[in-house]
């Protein structure tokens, strides 16, 4: 297990980083365990079976509803599961996943159904809803503050251990790709969540797909870099509008505004890209940068 379990701090030995399969790359993710509390279960079924033989996992905090963070739930039937109320419906009703990814009745749906079957995804019974700023005590040493960070999903949460200042940021993953392609994603909320995290005193950040990031200054820089990805997309998409020639959403299709190139999953990526572009259009309308003209939009 030494290849996946890593102490995060010499001082706080009860907090351990759990490295997901494929180094946390989709369809897997990293986790964090604090005593008998585990955050997310997407490390892979094989690794989770090993982990639960070594740790008495009693409580599971789910950061959000996405399959790469909860695919191991079925292996912990006696644990108590908690998630934010805005993601509870989906984690209890996985048949709605494709609808919320915007792929129902599309060519990408069969591919995702195959993935769900491969992960053996099942509905998860939620025992308790997480609340913003709630404090969860873990034994005598640790306390976790729940931080509601919507944007990626409506109920996405980060978690800050108050003694160590170690935070699990889940899918605010500080990689070079920012994802908000769910029907329940919200770009303005995402930006506000990044600002919220930047205001916190975080000494060590752990993300669902990148891993451990050390140092308060470095973490703030990474959060700013992550937000800058959104701003660069703003610029690219806004530059496509003009004052006289209305642009419709379909005009942005297949133009790589967000994905630099399309992979073997092109059919899904184009759908996701179109959803994310619409999030930018919604933001531009809210900020009066564009306005409706006929069936399209022009610069204000």
What is the domain partition of the chain in residue ranges? 5-229, 243-299
pTM: 0.96
pLDDT of residue 3: 74
**Residues 6 or more apart in contact with residue 183 via CB below 8 angstroms:** 99, 100, 101, 102, 275
Fold of 5-229: Metallo-beta-lactamase; Chain A (3.60.15)
Total Cβ atoms within 10 A of residue 150: 22
C-beta separation of 13 from 24 below 8 A: no
pLDDT for 1 equals: 47
Among 59, 57, 119, 63, smallest CA distance to 90 is for 63
User: DSSP 3-state helix, strand, coil percentages of the chain (rounded to 5)?
Assistant: 35, 20, 45
pLDDT value at residue 295: 93
Q: How many helices (H) and strands (E) does the chain have?
A: 7, 15
The distance of Cα 19 from the centroid of its chain, to the nearest Å, equals: 17
Whether the CB-CB separation of 219 and 202 falls below 8 Å is answered with yes
Distance CA 280, CA 238 (A): 9
Report helix, strand or coil for 158: strand
The answer to whether 63 and 170 are in contact (CB under 8 A) is yes
Q: Which segments of the chain have a pLDDT < 50?
A: 1
For residues 267 and 196, give the distance between their C-alpha atoms in angstroms, rounded to a whole number: 34
**pLDDT for position 264:** 87
DSSP H helices, 96-239, are 97-101, 109-119, 187-198, 216-238
């Amino acid at each position: 297990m030494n290849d996946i379990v890593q102490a995060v701090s010499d001082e706080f030995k009860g907090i351990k980083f759990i490295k997901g399969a494929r180094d946390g790359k989709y369809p897997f993710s990293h986790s964090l365990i604090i005593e008998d509390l585990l955050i997310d279960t997407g490390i892979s079924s094989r690794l989770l079976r090993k982990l639960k033989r070594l740790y008495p996992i009693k409580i599971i905090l789910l950061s959000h509803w996405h399959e790469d963070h909860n695919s191991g739930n079925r292996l912990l039937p006696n644990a108590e599961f908690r998630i934010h109320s805005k993601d509870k419906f989906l984690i209890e009703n996985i048949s709605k996943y494709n609808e919320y990814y915007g792929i129902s009745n599309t060519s990408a749906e069969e591919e995702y159904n195959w993935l769900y079957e491969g992960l053996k995804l099942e509905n998860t019974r939620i025992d308790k809803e997480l609340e913003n700023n709630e404090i969860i005590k873990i034994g005598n040493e640790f306390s976790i503050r729940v931080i509601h960070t919507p944007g990626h999903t409506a109920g996405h949460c980060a978690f800050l251990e108050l003694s160590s200042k170690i935070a699990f940021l889940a899918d605010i993953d500080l990689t070079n790709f920012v994802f908000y392609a769910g029907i329940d994603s919200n770009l303005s909320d995402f930006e506000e969540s990044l600002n919220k995290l930047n205001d916190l005193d975080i000494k060590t950040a752990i993300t669902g797909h990148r891993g451990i990031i050390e140092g308060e200054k470095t973490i703030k820089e990474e959060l700013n870099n992550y937000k800058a990805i959104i701003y660069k997309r703003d610029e690219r998409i806004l530059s496509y509008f003009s004052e006289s020639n209305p642009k419709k959403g379909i005009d942005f299709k297949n133009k790589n505004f967000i994905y630099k190139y399309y992979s073997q999953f092109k059919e899904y990526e184009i759908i996701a890209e179109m959803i994310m572009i619409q999030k930018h259009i919604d933001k531009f309308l809210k900020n009066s940068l564009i306005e409706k003209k006929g069936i399209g939009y022009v610069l204000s």
